[in-house]
Amino acid sequence: MRELTQYQMENVAGSGGAPATVANAAGVGIIIGSLGAIATGVAAGTPVGPVGMVIGGILGGLGVAVGSATGSSGGGS
């Protein structure tokens, strides 16, 4: 398994055509979280099945959604 290139990341994110919304960012987080779960399993020498991919995807998506929601609270500094 190899890392994603910038070109591949842009395609996952809509290649500039998708609006910058929390939903789209969470979708990218889900994809990256699932791939990260696979990569972690390979590095650790343990197979990651569908359950591990789903858990990685959920954690990746939640991390992005929560970060986006708290980062865009609009509070002045």
Determine, yes or no, domain membership for 76. no
Burial profile 6-26: b = 16 or more Cβ within 10 angstroms, e = fewer: eeeeeebbeeeeeeeebeebb
Contacts of residue 58, defined as CB under 8 A and 6 or more positions apart, other chains included, come to 30, 33
Q: What's the domain count of the chain?
A: 1
2-16 confidence digits (pLDDT tens):
787 877 777 765 556
Rounded Cα distance, 30 and 36, in Å: 10
Determine, yes or no, domain membership for 35. yes
Determine, yes or no, domain membership for 1. no
Determine, yes or no, domain membership for 20. yes
Q: How confident is the model at residue 75 (pLDDT cuts 50, 70, 90)?
A: very low
23-68 confidence digits (pLDDT tens):
778 888 888 888 888 888 878 877 777 888 888 888 888 877 777 6
16: containing domain: 6-71
Which of 13, 63, 15, 11 has the alpha carbon at shortest distance from 37?
63
